[in-house]
């Protein structure tokens, strides 16, 4: 290595910084520079692939850890006092002893930090030494290296089931179509396969990619943490530019699947990769309790300074009152005595040292230990464990568990959060004709009590007399199919299928509608005009659009992905009995059907228990010709059977539509970047050339695919999307240029869409457009320029998509059901009874959202449901003013005293935007304060976060947001507590959350039980800590009045330190971990008990100062009863202090015993153990300490005291008198005005039957007086069976504002539309 001057090193460092900060990077291959020194490497300014997540090094651990710990003001405070104690003129006791408490605390913290950092070091070393293959020009082949050896500009080859070591630009794939399948579960939790396409035009050789021939320049954007976007282009030597996007980027941490090998060019390495930029570590939030704690610490500091000031003034007055110089005032070496003013100044600092524990040094450590214990019990709660997903609750933010007990507002997503996110195809409308799929509805009704992921065997022949269905299920005899509703759990099958998302039988099985099946059959067998009819028949085009207008990846069902680390079954085979049981069942099924089937089961393959239904060609007994939905492949063209296909979809909607098309015989067989293959019901296979895919985005609300028809060679654009985004692209449905048929189709389809929405179905519109050759070529040029642009690429690409998606031809619409999760209504009702306002923020249209709102009991029948929908700000203002005036009148009406309004608000996107404007947001928030439920429709992810921030900042309330998808991340991060649901949309929400659950129903116990426990335990423990320290410090303070305020102590300083460090430290920690004021059963049965923690809660200004005053009283008793008992005696100072110390111990521990609500064996052991430890340590110390603290020594003090009956009398009398007021207060309070929590504890003591009866009666009287209806709230609200009708059938002349305003009041027996 050559020597370089410092100036050259500085110059290189500055150049490297500039290179890394440029918006665009020019990267070239490292191969021509292989073997040269680093200074000649073109990509030397970019970091290597080695990662370092540790914070410390071995040499710098101590100074860096101390530096971090001194960022805590409490540590600085105690270290400063310890250093101050080394100054002779202000020291209170031996300086070395004063260092012990803070050193112990900081040592424990350092050990914890060091252990965590060592684990990070081990993880880094394992990752950095993972092997990979890098191309070497010297050896003319890929050689094995380590991940840490990868550099930007290298060529890396990855093989199947291997993890990608860095961010690679895909240049070559072993797949003939240049496709590489990856699994991004390590990044976002999504297990469905994703396609990545090699950059076109770079690999011209048939033998594969040759890295040495790559002489282009890769121009890419500066690294960022956006996993869904990547801007790049490759500039060839001839200056030709080829654009590349995220579709050609293999991200570090992804796993290559179903691809033999692939070659990529390293664009980002190490800490610049997208996965590392997203790795922010543990989230840190300050809880509301912690913020309140800091305020009270400040009050304690003021109290400490006040007491020290009193001590300084008292010392000055005492010195001034002395007639001469007493012998106990020792002058300095020069024989000089400080004057009283200077001595009192020094005494001020001495008093600070003496009374320093008024600020509880061990409180912060105790809080951390308590939270660790609380998290342990939360994560190990069996009720929060989900057996189907084998997941339990995760606590990702370790310091806000108590915030769960103070929630006042909950903001929830709908899809995947309240619902299963398992999309089931229910109905469709084609060319204005509605097909209800009644047979499929009957099948779904039979699945009401089926657990998700369980397999069910059905007999469909009774519902389908005209269609011949055959069932082939492993382990099912034909006789079994005659038992309607026969069901069998098959956990092993579920595990095997878990690799493919959205593939449960509930989603994949669709029974065709007979009328639609006949229509398709007629279109398919249209005689001589068969080809022409197929291409223009809208029914065929409709299902072709369902089959190809998506991004679904097709793979073989029996080609299960290999796992590198563990078997996919390993998590389910921990129980030997369960493993043996499954083995026996599998063997029994195999032998039972060995003679019936000529098929072989591989060891790692599990056959689905319910196959997709089939029909056969021919004519049935009723004379109706039926088509074969799954015909055999034609001879000579062997193709995979439909049953062997597995669909990997990125969203459940796409999977549902593909499976629906498959049920009608339009089977998606294969998909490549350039083509998509579909088998028709007739058995013919069509290969469509894919010209472009216009992917879905949140602005357009739709996606399109542009293909070349294999028969007509037309350019056809199929589009699907939200109804409101599609209908406007058809032009005005009632425009004069539409024919009568087109008018009817658009109007009828819109009517069907409204009906679907009222039933709670998710709706999509399907369209088609034939594009001319000239239009396509013109559009293609603009599209390529947009894809190669580095500035505003997304905007330009979206503009080209919008340009093509015009003048669409409507084919039809679909209605997909997303079922509610289990126990969602019960959970929402419990949360509302707990005093929590529940908001649902959804992107669905209002009709769908309202129906779901009633189904999940977000909206109740007795509610006054206000539907706000307006088009201008003036109207929105008038609505808000009108409603607020009505609310004010209601409250001022003397007839409504003691009653509450059940108001719920439904608001759409446009109205919400206007209501959240700066001049209206105060009125909007004022209105929502009176609403117990709010339903926001058509909201975007950004609007969700804005709503949460607005409510949190305006109302100063504790908010919680819960969601399951990437579109909920902003909302989750904006709330005080974010909860992610690990559903079917990946793990983005989980990774951004503070807590992760697997089902919405778990929210009930997490908040109402664990949240309540965590808050009450921690709040009571903190109050107790303040009381304990103030009570003990005041003993020293009262003694100053009798020693001239000289900071003398009547207790040995070792016992002073041990008192807080050992004798009284463990009981409050156990109190904060184990105490239960009310059982979990009662807390869930009576949710109103949760209200005790909301708002100010139990830890507030009043309870804090009452505890401080009680501490002052108890310290007075503990000091002056022994003082009066030993008055005028000749005992020494430690003989006087030992009973005081003992009384303080008994009083403080028995005070805690009064506060403990549920005693366990652990409590008894710790309490008795603390007393025993005190006497053992004190007796031992008194026995061995002969000259520890001259001239007064504690030698044999306690032994002598314990031989004196006066000692026991003092301890008993002082303890009783000190605790009598608090005990009396508790007795009177619990007898005269028992709190709800006390009544809950009384319920716990009843037998189960009596307890259930009391809970029912209690809940029957919840809310005080009966709820009085609002005068407009006499109609019944629509339920799931009686859909909401938002618009009246006819409007009168008075409805002149109908176009601008729709304010609907949905009530109990009828519906009225009120215009203001």
**For residues 224 and 232, what is the distance between their CA atoms, to the nearest angstrom?**
13
User: Which of 1160, 1196, 1166 has the alpha carbon at shortest distance from 1178?
Assistant: 1196
**For residues 618 and 613, what is the distance between their CA atoms, to the nearest angstrom?**
16
**For residues 631 and 617, what is the distance between their CA atoms, to the nearest angstrom?**
8
Residue 1044's region, left for phi above 0, alpha for psi from -120 to 50, else beta, is left
**For residues 824 and 821, what is the distance between their CA atoms, to the nearest angstrom?**
6
DSSP-derived letter for residue 356 is G
3-state DSSP helix/strand/coil percent for the chain, to nearest 5? 45, 15, 40
Q: Is 413 assigned a catalytic role?
A: yes
Would you call 634 helix, strand, or coil by DSSP? coil
**For residues 351 and 313, what is the distance between their CA atoms, to the nearest angstrom?**
11
Greatest C-alpha distance within the chain: 131
Asked if omega into 1191 is within 30° of 0 (cis), the reply is yes
Q: Which of 413, 537, 994, 1075 is catalytic?
A: 413
User: What own/partner pairs with CB < 8 Å and gap ≥ 24 does 599-603 have?
Assistant: 601/474, 602/558
**For residues 495 and 479, what is the distance between their CA atoms, to the nearest angstrom?**
27
Q: Supply 485's token pair.
A: 């509703």
Do the beta carbons of residue 860 and residue 1277 sit within 8 Å? Answer: yes
For 521, the enclosing helix (H) or strand (E) is: helix 514-524
The string of DSSP letters for 865-880 reads EEEEEESSHHHHHHHH
CA-based end-to-end distance of the chain: 84
What b/e sequence results for 800-818 when a residue is b if at least 16 CB atoms lie within 10 Å of its CB, and e otherwise? Answer: bbeebbeebebbbbbbbbb
**For residues 235 and 215, what is the distance between their CA atoms, to the nearest angstrom?**
9
Q: Which residues contact 592 (CB under 8 A, 6 or more apart)?
A: 475, 477
Half-sphere exposure of 709 (CA within 13 A, CB side): 22
Half-sphere exposure of 676 (CA within 13 A, CB side): 26
Would you call 265 helix, strand, or coil by DSSP? strand
Which strands, in side-by-side order, build the sheet including 131-136? 141-146, 131-136, 155-159, 261-268, 167-173, 249-250
Q: Which residues contact 180 (CB under 8 A, 6 or more apart)?
A: 170, 173, 195, 196, 197, 198, 250, 256, 259, 262
Q: Helix crossing, 1161-1184 with 1133-1155: angle to 10°?
A: 170
> What residue spans of 421-487 are helical by DSSP H?
438-445
Q: Supply 499's token pair.
A: 């690799």
**For residues 7 and 1002, what is the distance between their CA atoms, to the nearest angstrom?**
62
Would you call 602 helix, strand, or coil by DSSP? coil
Bridge-based pairing state of the strands 194-197 and 167-173: unpaired
* φ, ψ at 667 (rounded to 5°): -100, 120
**For residues 714 and 686, what is the distance between their CA atoms, to the nearest angstrom?**
14
Which residue in this structure is represented by tokens 């001022």?
A: 892
Which strands, in side-by-side order, build the sheet including 194-197? 194-197, 179-183, 255-257
Length of the chain as a residue count: 1316
Do the beta carbons of residue 1034 and residue 368 sit within 8 Å? Answer: no
List residues with catalytic annotation.
Answer: 413
């Amino acid at each position: 290595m050559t020597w370089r001057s410092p100036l050259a090193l500085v110059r290189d460092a500055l150049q490297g910084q500039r290179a890394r900060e440029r918006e665009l990077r020019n990267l070239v291959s490292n191969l021509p520079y292989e073997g040269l020194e680093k200074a000649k490497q073109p990509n030397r300014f970019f970091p290597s692939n080695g990662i370092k997540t540790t914070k410390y090094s071995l040499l710098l651990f101590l100074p860096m850890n101390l530096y971090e710990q001194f960022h805590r003001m409490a540590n600085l405070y105690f270290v400063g006092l310890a250093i101050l104690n080394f100054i002779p003129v202000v020291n209170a006791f031996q300086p070395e002893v004063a260092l012990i408490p803070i050193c112990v605390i900081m040592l424990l913290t350092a050990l914890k930090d060091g252990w965590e950092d060592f684990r990070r070091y081990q993880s880094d070393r394992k990752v950095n030494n993972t092997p990979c293959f890098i191309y070497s020009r010297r050896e003319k082949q890929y050689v094995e290296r380590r991940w840490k050896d990868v550099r930007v500009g290298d060529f890396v080859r990855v093989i199947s089931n291997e993890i990608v070591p860095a961010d690679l630009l895909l240049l070559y794939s072993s797949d003939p179509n240049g496709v590489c399948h990856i699994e991004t579960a390590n990044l976002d939790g999504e297990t469905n396969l994703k396609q990545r396409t090699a950059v076109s035009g770079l690999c011209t050789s048939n033998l594969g990619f040759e890295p040495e021939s790559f002489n282009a320049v890769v121009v890419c954007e500066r690294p960022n943490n956006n996993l869904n976007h990547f801007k790049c282009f490759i500039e060839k030597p001839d200056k030709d530019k080829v654009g590349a996007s995220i579709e050609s980027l293999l991200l570090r941490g992804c796993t290559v699947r179903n691809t033999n090998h692939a070659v990529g060019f390293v664009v980002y390495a190490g800490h610049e990769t997208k996965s590392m930029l997203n790795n922010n570590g543990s989230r840190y939030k300050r809880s509301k309790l912690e913020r309140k704690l800091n305020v009270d610490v400040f009050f304690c500091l003021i109290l400490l300074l006040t007491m020290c000031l009193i001590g300084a003034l008292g010392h000055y007055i005492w010195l001034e009152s002395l007639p001469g110089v007493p012998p106990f005032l020792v002058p300095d070496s020069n024989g000089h005595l400080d004057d009283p003013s200077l001595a009192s100044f020094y005494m001020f600092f001495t008093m600070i040292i003496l009374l320093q524990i008024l600020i509880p040094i061990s409180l912060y450590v105790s809080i951390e230990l308590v939270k660790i214990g609380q998290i342990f019990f939360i994560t190990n709660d069996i009720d929060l464990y989900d057996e189907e997903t084998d997941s339990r609750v995760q606590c990702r933010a370790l310091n806000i568990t108590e915030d769960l007990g103070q929630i006042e507002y909950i903001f929830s997503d709908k899809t995947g959060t309240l619902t299963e996110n398992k999309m089931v195809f229910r109905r469709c409308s084609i060319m204005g004709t509605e097909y209800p799929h009644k047979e499929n509805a009957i099948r779904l009704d039979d699945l009401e009590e089926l657990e998700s992921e369980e397999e069910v065997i059905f007999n469909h022949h009774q519902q389908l007399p005209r269609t011949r269905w055959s069932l082939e299920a492993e382990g099912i005899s034909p006789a079994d199919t005659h038992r309607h509703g026969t069901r069998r759990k098959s956990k092993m099958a579920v595990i095997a299928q878990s690799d493919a998302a959205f593939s449960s039988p509930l989603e994949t099985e669709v029974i065709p509608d007979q009328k639609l099946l006949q229509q398709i059959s007629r279109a398919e067998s249209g005689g001589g005009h068969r080809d022409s009819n197929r291409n223009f028949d809208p029914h065929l085009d409709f299902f072709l659009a369902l089959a190809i207008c998506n991004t679904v990846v097709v793979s073989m069902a029996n080609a299960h992905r290999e796992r590198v680390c563990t078997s996919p079954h390993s998590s389910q085979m921990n129980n030997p009995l369960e493993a043996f049981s499954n083995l026996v069942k599998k063997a029994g099924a195999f032998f039972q059907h060995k003679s019936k089937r000529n098929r072989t089961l591989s060891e790692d393959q599990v056959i689905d228990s319910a196959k997709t239904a089939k029909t056969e060609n021919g004519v049935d007994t009723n004379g109706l010709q039926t088509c074969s939905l799954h015909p055999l492949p034609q001879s000579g063209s062997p193709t995979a059977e439909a049953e062997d296909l597995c669909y990997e979809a990125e969203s459940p909607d796409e999977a549902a539509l593909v499976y629906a098309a498959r049920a009608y015989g339009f089977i998606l067989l294969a998909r490549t970047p350039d083509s998509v293959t579909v088998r028709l019901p007739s058995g013919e296979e069509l290969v469509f050339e894919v010209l472009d895919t216009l992917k879905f985005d949140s602005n357009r609300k739709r996606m399109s695919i542009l293909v070349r028809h294999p028969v007509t060679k037309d350019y056809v654009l199929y589009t699907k999307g939200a109804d409101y985004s599609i209908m406007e692209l058809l032009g005005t449905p009632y425009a004069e240029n539409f024919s009568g048929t087109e008018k009817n189709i658009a109007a009828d389809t819109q009517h069907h869409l409204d009906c679907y929405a009222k039933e709670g179905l998710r709706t999509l519109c399907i369209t088609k457009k034939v594009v001319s050759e000239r239009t396509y070529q013109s559009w293609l040029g603009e599209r390529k320029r947009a894809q190669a642009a580095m500035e505003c690429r997304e905007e330009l690409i979206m503009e080209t998509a919008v340009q093509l998606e015009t003048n669409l031809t409507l084919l039809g619409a679909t209605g997909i059901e997303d079922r509610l999760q289990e126990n969602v209504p019960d959970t929402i009702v419990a949360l509302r009874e707990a005093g929590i306002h529940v908001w649902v923020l959804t992107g669905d249209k209002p009709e769908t959202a309202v129906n779901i709102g009633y189904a999940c009991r977000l909206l109740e029948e007795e509610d006054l449901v206000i539907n706000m929908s307006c088009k201008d700000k003036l109207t929105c203002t008038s609505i808000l003013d009108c409603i607020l005036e009505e609310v004010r009148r209601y409250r001022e009406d003397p007839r409504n005293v003691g009653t509450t309004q059940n108001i719920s608000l439904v608001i759409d996107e446009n109205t919400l935007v206007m209501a959240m404007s700066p001049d209206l947001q105060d009125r909007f928030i004022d209105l929502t304060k009176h609403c117990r439920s709010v339903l926001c429709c058509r909201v975007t992810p950004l609007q969700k976060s804005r709503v949460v921030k607005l409510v949190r900042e305006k109302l100063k309330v504790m908010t919680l947001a819960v969601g399951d998808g990437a579109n909920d991340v902003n909302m989750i991060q904006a709330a005080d507590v974010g909860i992610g649901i690990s559903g079917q949309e990946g793990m983005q929400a989980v990774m951004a959350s503070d807590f992760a659950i697997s089902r919405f129903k778990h929210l009930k116990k997490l908040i109402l039980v664990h949240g309540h426990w965590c808050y009450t335990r921690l709040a009571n423990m903190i109050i107790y800590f303040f009381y304990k320290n103030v009570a003990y410090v005041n003993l020293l303070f009262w003694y100053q009045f009798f020693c001239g305020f000289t900071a003398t102590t009547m207790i040995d300083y070792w016992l002073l330190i041990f008192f807080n460090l050992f004798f009284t430290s463990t009981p409050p920690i156990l109190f904060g971990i184990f105490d239960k004021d009310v059982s979990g059963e009662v807390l869930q049965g009576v949710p109103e008990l949760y209200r005790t923690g909301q708002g100010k809660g139990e830890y507030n200004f009043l309870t804090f100062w009452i505890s401080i005053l009680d501490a002052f009283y108890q310290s007075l008793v503990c000091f002056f009863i022994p003082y009066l008992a030993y008055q005028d005696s000749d005992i020494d100072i430690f003989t006087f202090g030992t009973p005081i110390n003992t009384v303080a111990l008994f009083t403080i521990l028995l005070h805690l015993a009064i506060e403990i609500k549920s005693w366990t064996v652990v409590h008894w052991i710790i309490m008795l153990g603390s007393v025993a430890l005190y006497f053992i340590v004190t007796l031992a110390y008194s026995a061995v300490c002969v000259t520890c603290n001259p001239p007064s020594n504690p030698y044999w003090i306690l032994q002598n005291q314990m031989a004196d009956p006066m000692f026991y009398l003092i301890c008993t009398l002082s303890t009783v008198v000190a605790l009598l007021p608090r005990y009396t207060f508790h007795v009177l309070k619990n007898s005269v005005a028992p709190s709800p929590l006390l009544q809950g504890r009384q319920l716990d003591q009843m037998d189960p039957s009596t307890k259930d009866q009391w809970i029912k009666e209690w809940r029957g009287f919840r809310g005080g007086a009966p709820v009085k209806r609002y005068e407009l709230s006499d109609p019944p609200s629509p339920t799931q069976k009686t859909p909401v009708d938002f618009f009246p059938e006819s409007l009168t002349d008075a409805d002149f504002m109908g176009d601008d305003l729709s304010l609907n009041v949905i009530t109990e027996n009828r519906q009225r539309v009120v215009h203001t």
